[in-house]
């Protein structure tokens, strides 16, 4: 009886153990399924997570209109992209930092963008000196950077991750020299440039080389440092050389004051400059003193181009009727070239995205048709604008092809 009872107990135990095993197995299976489901959830969420890009620019400080205009162009492009469904259903999110026009701040801003914010690409800067300060950070991190408007040749030479959508100073210098020689019929030119700004120094060098190659002569060269208030000594020397055109490849922050002093000293020849003049503040500062002067730029608001008209209409609708300057157009173009590359790239990782940007050909942009060449520079045309009208502002004068 005891033996039979023991056998029953053993059988019951085995049955319970088997049942327990089945139950436990079921729990394990359910747990594994739940774990797999939970693991799949973040992946699914990640696939639709925003794509984060960065912008660094002079949003405050002496050159604030540069950064503000660029930011507005970028934000307009992002708004349009996201409204159309983003990149494969993923929205684009912008992280933006102010450089205050300071190279150290530019370096810190981009370091934060690539290390803390983990952006997939960076847009900026306008001033070549600030791009040169920050580009090495992107290059080292393997994050593509597209400068909307830094024209100094050294910017993209930092490395294979650095691009631009603007023309470069050798072409801009040539465009200005060609206009001075062919349109203004000038044979004698004087130059006044910022000795501390890479943009200004190199543009002056390129203008002189091209102008003299065309048979002209630079009869006076004077320098200043950005932020100077008195240009009397330099302009007195320039006046004595009797130039037929005065080339001032500086930023609008100085050019307005220079123009006032140029006319006060009786220098009547046209002034000519580069795209650093492009700001609504130039006409407000210089007034009639800058009227009848010219500068090279990336587009003109009044040029007869349907894409330009559409951009201006959208920009004015977004920003209270304000007319976009060249920096806004370049910010818009830089963002759209980046988005076009994202759509073509295998992923938003550094190298595939870099390769897609480098493959950009014949992109129809507001500032012209853009092809990225082997040096990661933009091959495109330039326009020359004249400061005139009421209200005083840039008006299309001529186009110069590369």
Average pLDDT, the chain: 90
The answer to whether the CB of 232 falls within 8 A of the CB of 209 is no
**191 closest CA partner among 132, 231, 154, 151:** 231
pLDDT of residue 47: 65
Q: What average pLDDT score do residues 92-107 get?
A: 98
For residue 274, what pLDDT band results from cuts at 50, 70 and 90? Answer: very high
| CATH 3.40.50.2300 boundaries in the chain | 51-167+304-381, 170-297
For residue 85, what pLDDT band results from cuts at 50, 70 and 90? Answer: very high
C-beta pairs of 153-158 under 8 Å, 24+ apart in sequence: 153/202, 154/128, 154/198, 155/128, 155/131, 156/375, 156/376, 156/377, 157/375, 158/132
Burial environment of residue 241 by CB neighbours within 10 A (0 to 12, 13 to 18, 19 or more):
middle
Question: In Å, how far are 70, 220, 357 from 103, measured between CA atoms?
Answer: 18, 31, 26
| CA dist., res. 289 & res. 262, Å (int) | 8
pLDDT of residue 8: 35
| CA dist., res. 166 & res. 388, Å (int) | 25
The answer to whether the CB of 350 falls within 8 A of the CB of 119 is no
Answer whether residue 249 shows pLDDT above 80: yes
Q: What average pLDDT score do residues 327-340 get?
A: 98
Q: What average pLDDT score do residues 130-144 get?
A: 98
Answer whether residue 11 shows pLDDT above 90: no
Which comes out higher in pLDDT, residue 8 or 173? 173
Query: Number of C-alpha atoms within 13 angstroms, CB side, residue 341?
Result: 28
Report whether CATH 3.40.50.2300 matches the domain 51-167+304-381: yes
Length of the chain: 402
**Strand pairing category for 162-164 and 271-273:** unpaired
The answer to whether the CB of 141 falls within 8 A of the CB of 116 is no
Report whether CATH 3.40.50.720 matches the domain 170-297: no
Q: What average pLDDT score do residues 33-40 get?
A: 41
- pTM score, whole prediction: 0.84
Q: What average pLDDT score do residues 122-148 get?
A: 98
Q: What average pLDDT score do residues 208-231 get?
A: 98
Answer whether residue 317 shows pLDDT above 50: yes
**Strand pairing category for 382-388 and 393-400:** antiparallel
The answer to whether the CB of 155 falls within 8 A of the CB of 162 is yes
In 290-330, DSSP assigns E strands to: 294-297
In 165-273, DSSP assigns E strands to: 188-194, 217-224, 245-247, 271-273
pLDDT of residue 95: 98
**Dihedral sign computed on CA atoms, order 152, 365, 387, 209:** positive
pLDDT of residue 218: 98
């Amino acid at each position: 009886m005891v033996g039979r009872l023991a056998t029953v107990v053993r059988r019951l135990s085995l049955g319970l153990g088997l049942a327990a095993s089945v139950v436990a197995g079921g729990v394990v299976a359910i747990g594994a399924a739940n774990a797999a489901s939970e693991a799949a959830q973040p992946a699914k969420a990640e696939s639709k997570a925003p794509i984060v890009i960065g912008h660094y620019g002079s949003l405050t400080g002496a050159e604030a209109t540069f950064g503000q205009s660029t930011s507005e162009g970028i934000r307009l492009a992002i708004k349009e992209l996201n409204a159309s469904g983003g990149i494969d259903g993923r929205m684009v999110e912008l992280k933006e930092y102010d450089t205050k026009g300071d190279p150290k701040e530019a370096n810190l801003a981009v370091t934060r963008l690539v290390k803390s914010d983990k952006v997939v690409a960076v847009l900026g800067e306008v001033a070549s000196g600030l791009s040169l300060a920050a580009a090495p950070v992107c290059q080292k991190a393997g994050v593509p950077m597209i400068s909307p408007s830094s024209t100094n040749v050294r910017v993209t030479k930092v490395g294979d991750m650095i691009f631009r959508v603007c023309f470069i100073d050798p072409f801009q210098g040539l465009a200005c020299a060609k206009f001075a020689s062919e349109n203004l019929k000038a044979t004698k030119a004087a130059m006044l440039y910022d000795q501390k700004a890479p943009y200004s120094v190199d543009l002056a060098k390129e203008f002189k080389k091209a102008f003299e190659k065309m048979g002209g002569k630079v009869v006076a060269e004077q320098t200043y440092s950005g932020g100077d208030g008195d240009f009397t000594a330099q302009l007195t020397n320039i006046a004595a050389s009797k130039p037929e055109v005065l080339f001032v490849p500086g930023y609008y922050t100085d050019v307005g004051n220079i123009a006032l002093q140029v006319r006060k000293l009786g220098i009547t020849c046209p002034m000519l400059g580069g795209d650093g003049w492009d700001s609504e503040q130039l006409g407000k500062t210089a007034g009639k003193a800058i009227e009848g002067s010219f500068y090279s730029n990336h587009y003109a608001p009044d040029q007869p181009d349907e894409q330009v008209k559409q951009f201006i209409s959208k920009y004015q609708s977004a920003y209270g009727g304000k007319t976009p300057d060249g920096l806004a157009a370049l910010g818009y173009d830089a963002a759209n070239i980046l988005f076009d590359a994202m759509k073509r790239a295998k992923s938003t990782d550094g190298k595939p995205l870099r390769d897609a940007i480098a493959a950009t050909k014949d992109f129809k942009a507001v500032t012209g048709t853009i092809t990225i060449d082997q040096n990661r520079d933009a091959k495109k045309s330039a326009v020359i604008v004249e400061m005139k009208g009421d209200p005083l502002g840039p008006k299309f004068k001529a186009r110069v092809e590369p």
